[in-house]
């Protein structure tokens, strides 16, 4: 694991955008795995800026989102399709036919087959080159809640009470928060060639420490990321504040700067 601790949210977002820019400039037909939520918002703003300044082009890029609420359609202002359009896709030069987000408005009988198709489409795109991840307060990645199988694939899932509570900030009433979602599985996520994990703020500190330094357990789904061979953990001082090996990570970062190549 490559752990980079930055001063604040802005610095994390800038570093994340630099990593994406370098990758896309090397491989113009990169397949990106995208997340929603509060954490990547500043990163997406930065990517829009870089695209406007012609420092990056998304013309040949494909994207796959981690998840979508189930039970709302794509024009709903809280749908993740709407989020991606308004925060990124409508402002960059991407072909929106190359942006994939699970459909949240299918009949329940259609879901299993649709999820298989989503997985197949990822494979046909050559797999995900770089997956952006955030972490939920309960340790979830995508909507793989505590107890999810490490081998899970894209499927219909139920959201935990804590996730419903956490996400109620985006809705006028907690009763409006969907109870279900379609989510890539942990097995799907682990197949990404590279992962960029982002977390910011004091309220993520304890769960980040459990995920990075605790035992690998399905009760903290993000803990499985310890097994990924090419993962960059990009966190700010506050989110890093419960890490036992905080000074070790900084020491290794200095070594990385000295040798001039990423150390995973």
**Closest CB 132 distance from ligand F6R, rounded Å:** 9
CA torsion, ordered 201, 164, 141, 123, to nearest 10 deg:
-140
Stretch that binds ligand F6R, among 30-38, 43-51, 149-157, 250-258 (CB under 6 A): 30-38
Cβ nearer to ligand F6R, comparing 69 with 249: 69
Phi and psi angles of residue 137, each rounded to the nearest 5 degrees, phi first: -60, -25
**Closest CB 99 distance from ligand F6R, rounded Å:** 14
Q: Establish whether 138 is a catalytic residue.
A: yes
Options 36, 51, 63, 188; binder of ligand F6R; rule CB under 6 A: 36
Q: Is 210 a residue that touches ligand F6R (CB under 6 A)?
A: no
Options 2, 21, 37, 193; binder of ligand F6R; rule CB under 6 A: 37
HSE (side-chain half, CA atoms, 13 Å) at 70: 22
Q: Is 81 a residue that touches ligand F6R (CB under 6 A)?
A: no
Nearest in space to 129 (alpha carbons), one of 234, 22, 45: 22
Options 17, 30, 31, 39; binder of ligand F6R; rule CB under 6 A: 39
Cβ nearer to ligand F6R, comparing 58 with 197: 197
Cα angle 228, 230, 232; round to 5: 100
**Closest CB 241 distance from ligand F6R, rounded Å:** 16
**Closest CB 254 distance from ligand F6R, rounded Å:** 29
Stretch that binds ligand F6R, among 122-130, 139-147, 238-246, 250-258 (CB under 6 A): 139-147
Q: Establish whether 140 is a catalytic residue.
A: yes
**Which parts of 98-137 interact with ligand F6R (CB under 6 A)?**
134-136
**Which parts of 58-77 interact with ligand F6R (CB under 6 A)?**
66-67
Cα angle 100, 103, 107; round to 5: 155
Return the active site residues. 67, 138, 140, 145
The residues of the shown chain that bind ligand F6R, judged by CB under 6 A, are 35-39, 66-67, 134-136, 140-142
């Amino acid at each position: 694991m490559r752990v980079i601790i930055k001063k604040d949210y802005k610095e994390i977002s800038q570093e994340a955008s630099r990593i994406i820019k370098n990758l896309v400039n090397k491989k113009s037909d990169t397949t990106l795995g995208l997340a929603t939520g509060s954490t990547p918002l500043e990163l997406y703003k930065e990517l829009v800026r870089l695209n406007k300044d012609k420092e990056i082009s998304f013309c040949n890029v494909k994207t796959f989102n981690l998840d979508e609420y189930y039970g709302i359609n794509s024009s709903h202002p809280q749908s993740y399709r709407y989020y991606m359009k308004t925060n990124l896709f409508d402002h960059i030069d991407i072909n929106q036919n190359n942006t994939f987000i699970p459909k949240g408005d299918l009949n329940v009988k259609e879901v299993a087959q649709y999820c298989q198709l989503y997985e197949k489409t990822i494979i046909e795109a050559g797999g995900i080159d770089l997956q952006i991840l955030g972490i939920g307060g309960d340790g979830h990645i995508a909507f793989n809640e505590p107890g999810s199988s490490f081998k899970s694939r894209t499927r219909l899932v139920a959201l935990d009470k804590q996730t419903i509570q956490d996400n109620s900030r985006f809705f006028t009433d907690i009763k409006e928060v969907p109870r279900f979602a379609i989510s890539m599985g942990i097995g799907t996520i682990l197949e990404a060639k590279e992962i960029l994990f982002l977390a910011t703020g004091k309220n993520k500190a304890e769960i980040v420490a459990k995920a990075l330094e605790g035992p690998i357990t399905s009760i903290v789904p993000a803990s499985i990321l310890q097994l990924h061979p090419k993962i960059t953990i990009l966190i700010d001082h506050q989110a890093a504040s419960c890490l036992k090996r905080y000074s070790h990570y900084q020491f290794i970062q200095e070594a990385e700067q000295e040798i001039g190549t990423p150390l995973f």
